[in-house]
Amino acid sequence: MNDLARLIDACDEAPARQALACQDRGLVRPILRRRPRGLRDMALLLSPAAGGLLDEMAVVAAKHTLERFGKARQLYAPLYVSNYCSGSCPYCGFGKQEGLVRRRLSADEVVDEAMVLRSLGMRHLLLVSGDDPVMADERFLAEVASKLRPSFSSLSVEVPSLPSQGYETLVAAGVDGVTLYQETYDRDAYEKYHCLGPKRDYDDRLHALSRAGQAGVYRLTAGVLLGLSPLALEALRLMAHIGYLQRTSWRSFVGVGVPRLRSVPAGFEVPHPVSDRDLVQLMLALRIAYPDLGITLSTRENPLMRDRLSLVAATQLSAGSRTEPGGYRAPGAAADQFRIFDERSPEQVAQSLQRQGLDPVWKDWDSCFLGESTWRKPTGL
Amino acid sequence: MEDSLVIAGRSFSSRLLVGTGKFSSNRVMAEVIAESCAQIVTVALRRVDLDAPGEDMLAAIDRKRCLVLPNTSGARDAQEAVRLARLARAGGLDPWVKLEVTPDPRSLLPDPIETRRAAEILVKEGFVVLPYMPADPMLARRLEDAGCATLMPLGSPIGTGRGLKTRDAVGIIIEQAKVPVIVDAGLGLPSHAAEAMELGADAVLLNTALAIADAPVLMARGFRLAVEGGRLAYLAGPGGESPTARASSPLEGLLA
């Protein structure tokens, strides 16, 4: 077992478990006045005791967010390239189900979709696919990235885990970010929900972001799907993973996403639902534990939640999202992954941020970072 | 009294440089720049959309009054920094660059080796190079030898607002430098800026302290006055400190 796996497992040992169950606010308050250190401090931030200190946590979190990120909040859009999936996760709209309309866009169709987003102001794209390594292989993704690169400042992918060479191929094609959620760090739950396809391999997935970092990927985004396993321990393991990535992939900017499972396919019941209050505590704990962490908030949350959390913790927001391939040009033509709870357009999200005294940032990267091959003469100033 | 800041033969009456990140809006940023009287405004190229001129922060800067100084924020090595600088020049900006090479996105501390490497290349290509650097007097000599137009040692890590924690090293850099020394990063209060100027810095550069203040424009005025005050004190020649009381005149009590 390697360092990362050992670290994740240590979250389930007695000292961390005791801290996760802490009811004594007096043990949490000192951590709000200094930099949290080690698993015990992280666990205390996730404890019931900390849950009684949300207002105090929000003040600390907001201060960290302001100091590190100022008033800028970055906007991006997901672009689904394929909904083929070899997995069978019962909570996902792309799982193996009868009668699902499957589609993989051609590279040119991806560009057409992307241009719709560009016309709305988007310069940061997240290319998403179902977990099918054949339908979303690195060669296809590299082709897509090469075509998009002249028109977009930043390209990230949320696709099946890849070997090191796969990530190197994507970096060479212009991909600067990889989002890959472990979904759950609970090995038993993981095994239960991932019984088909390459995603079955927990440890391969666990180490994928490290491989991406070594391959030169700038943005690494880890995460869990909240609701698959008891929240506190799941969150602590996520925090341990973040700390590991920051130490070992130190040239990369580490971020996190913590989407809640809310609308799920018929027949599946979320085993450990996460309340609004729980989500807020987790976001605050993440910010306090890691002041420089990128925190993404997707359209799985409603406008009020996204607006409020942007003030204290979240730094990146998707906007105007469609979760089916081809959905920007032809909504509803294929099966979508999940229901959107924030239907506002990118412009409306931007205006809402501005009303709160925040600056919506459409561009905060340049493809020219990644090599001479991407350099292009600008159209002028 | 004529007291201009001269960089690469170009004169500036203001000794306060301003960054453009982290503001709540371009409008606030423009008001801050105006109130600060800054004549050099640095812009992260990663934030500029060269394909959409007029729609981003560049449009909010009065370029008749201010030199837009592109910076290479986000560059992790010399190659990336050089590419960004070339992109800016190709886009029509003056061939000036604030060189930032910060491979660790958490600490944002400058990489001395890659900074020096990039400086050499850019100077040879005709850029006026203003390097953000650790407060290391030996590195300062090396960057001067490479032909940099200024030295920009950090006061403390970016965004921390902790002030001139590198005072002793910055003092040595100022003493030995043949080019202007601009204290960059970490200044959180006007008193920090005044301290740097009293020490003999030629200018200071600010961003976070202005952008995240409750009233950024008011803070800009505070910093402007502090920079002017600190500069005047430096020019006036401070009398220094003494562990014991000193009479106003050394002859007091000697003559009737």
Sign of CA dihedral B28, B30, B33, B35: negative
Partner residue opposite A251 with nearest CB, options B22, B83, B103: B103
CB contact under 8 A, B22 and A358: no
A124 closest CA partner among A76, A176, A177: A76
Distance (Å) from the C-alpha of residue A347 to the closest C-alpha of chain B?
A: 14
Cβ count within 10 A of residue A75: 23
The answer to whether A220 and A245 are in contact (CB under 8 A) is yes
CB contact under 8 A, A369 and B84: yes
Distance (Å) from the C-alpha of residue A320 to the closest C-alpha of chain B?
A: 20
Q: Name the A residues in 87-106 with CB < 8 Å from any B CB.
A: none
pTM of the entire predicted model = 0.88
Residues on chain A touching B92 (C-beta within 8 angstroms): 380-381
Partner residue opposite A378 with nearest CB, options B23, B87, B212: B87
Beta strands in A84-138 (DSSP E): 124-129
Which CATH class name applies to A71-370?
A: alpha beta
Partner residue opposite A381 with nearest CB, options B76, B93, B212: B93
Distance (Å) from the C-alpha of residue B181 to the closest C-alpha of chain A?
A: 26
CA A22 to chain centre: 28
Residues 6+ apart with CB under 8 A from B106: A246, A250, A292
Partner residue opposite B76 with nearest CB, options A72, A153, A251: A251
Measured between alpha carbons, how far is residue B104 from residues A269, B76, B108, B208 in Å? 42, 8, 6, 19
The answer to whether A50 and A44 are in contact (CB under 8 A) is yes
Beta strands in A83-207 (DSSP E): 124-129, 154-158, 177-179
End-to-end CA gap in chain B = 39
Q: Quickly tell me which residue has 């998707």 as its tokens.
A: A318
Average pLDDT over residues B177-191: 96
The answer to whether B51 and B58 are in contact (CB under 8 A) is no
Q: In degrees rounded to 5, what are phi and psi of residue B161?
A: 65, 25
Residues on chain A touching B83 (C-beta within 8 angstroms): 368-369, 371-372, 375
Residues 6+ apart with CB under 8 A from A188: none
Beta strands in A272-333 (DSSP E): 294-297, 316-318
Distance (Å) from the C-alpha of residue A218 to the closest C-alpha of chain B?
A: 9
Q: How many helices (H) and strands (E) does chain A have?
A: 16, 9
Asked whether the predicted pLDDT for residue B53 surpasses 70, the reply is no
Beta bridge partners, B44, equal B71
Cβ count within 10 A of residue A46: 28
End-to-end CA gap in chain A = 54
Three-class DSSP category at A59 = helix
Reduced DSSP (H G I as helix, E B as strand, rest coil) percent helix, strand, coil of chain B, to 5:
40, 15, 45
CA distance A183 to A208: 13
> Tell me, what's the pLDDT at B124?
97
Residue type (1 letter), A104: R
Q: Name the B residues in 119-178 with CB < 8 Å from any A CB.
A: 159-161
Check B22, B64, B98, B165 and give the catalytic one. Answer: B98
Residues on chain B touching A381 (C-beta within 8 angstroms): 50, 53, 58, 91-93
Q: What region does B99 belong to: left with phi over 0, alpha with psi -120 to 50, or beta?
A: beta
The answer to whether A85 and A132 are in contact (CB under 8 A) is yes
Tokens matching residue A268: 């599946």
pLDDT tens figures, B20-51: 988 888 889 999 999 999 999 998 888 887 66
Partner residue opposite A71 with nearest CB, options B49, B161, B211: B211
The answer to whether B130 and B119 are in contact (CB under 8 A) is no
Residues on chain B touching A354 (C-beta within 8 angstroms): 25
Measured between alpha carbons, how far is residue A51 from residues A24, A34, B114 in Å? 11, 18, 45
Which stretches in chain A have pLDDT values below 50? Answer: 373-375, 377-381
Question: Which residue of chain B is at minimal alpha-carbon distance from A68?
Answer: B159
Burial (0-12, 13-18, 19+ Cβ within 10 Å), A35: exposed
Catalytic: B98? Answer: yes
CA distance A260 to A371: 37
Tokens matching residue B74: 């986000």
Tokens matching residue A346: 């990118």
Distance (Å) from the C-alpha of residue B121 to the closest C-alpha of chain A?
A: 15
> Tell me, what's the pLDDT at A380?
43
Question: Which residue of chain A is at minimal alpha-carbon distance from B188?
Answer: A67
CA distance B41 to B61: 8
* DSSP characters over B81-143: HHHHHHHHHHTT--SEEEE-----TTT----HHHHHHHHHHHHHTT-EEEEEE-S-HHHHHHH
Burial (0-12, 13-18, 19+ Cβ within 10 Å), A251: middle
Residues 6+ apart with CB under 8 A from B84: A366, A368, A369, B45, B46, B70, B72, B74, B75, B97
| ipTM computed for the complex | 0.81
Tokens matching residue A8: 């994740």
Partner residue opposite B50 with nearest CB, options A70, A72, A381: A381
The answer to whether A121 and A90 are in contact (CB under 8 A) is no
> Tell me, what's the pLDDT at A142?
95
Residues on chain A touching B51 (C-beta within 8 angstroms): 378-379
> Tell me, what's the pLDDT at B181?
98
CB of A347 within 8 Å of a chain B CB? The answer is: no
> Tell me, what's the pLDDT at A378?
47
> Tell me, what's the pLDDT at A373?
45
Residue type (1 letter), A217: V
CA distance B116 to A304: 48
In the predicted model, what is the mean pLDDT of chain B? Answer: 92
Assign B197 a pLDDT band (cuts: 50, 70, 90).
very high
Sign of CA dihedral A64, A70, A75, A78: negative
Partner residue opposite A70 with nearest CB, options B21, B26, B46: B21
CB contact under 8 A, B83 and A354: no
The DSSP secondary-structure symbol of B45 reads G
CA distance A213 to A269: 35
The answer to whether B36 and B63 are in contact (CB under 8 A) is no
> Tell me, what's the pLDDT at A358?
94
Question: Which residue of chain A is at minimal alpha-carbon distance from B209?
Answer: A67
Residues in chain A: 381
Asked whether the predicted pLDDT for residue B77 surpasses 60, the reply is yes
> Tell me, what's the pLDDT at A96?
66
Distance (Å) from the C-alpha of residue A70 to the closest C-alpha of chain B?
A: 4
Distance (Å) from the C-alpha of residue A326 to the closest C-alpha of chain B?
A: 26
Cβ count within 10 A of residue B120: 19
CB of B105 within 8 Å of a chain A CB? The answer is: yes
B121 closest CA partner among B101, B107, B94: B101
Segments making up each domain of chain A, as ranges: 71-370
Q: Between A and B, how many residue pairs show a Cβ–Cβ distance under 8 A?
A: 96
CB of B48 within 8 Å of a chain A CB? The answer is: yes
The answer to whether A167 and A119 are in contact (CB under 8 A) is no
> Tell me, what's the pLDDT at B233?
95
Question: Which residue of chain A is at minimal alpha-carbon distance from B108?
Answer: A251
Residues on chain A touching B105 (C-beta within 8 angstroms): 218, 251-253, 292
Residue type (1 letter), B238: P
CB of B31 within 8 Å of a chain A CB? The answer is: no
CA distance B50 to A190: 45
CB contact under 8 A, A362 and B46: no
Q: In degrees rounded to 5, what are phi and psi of residue A370?
A: -90, 0
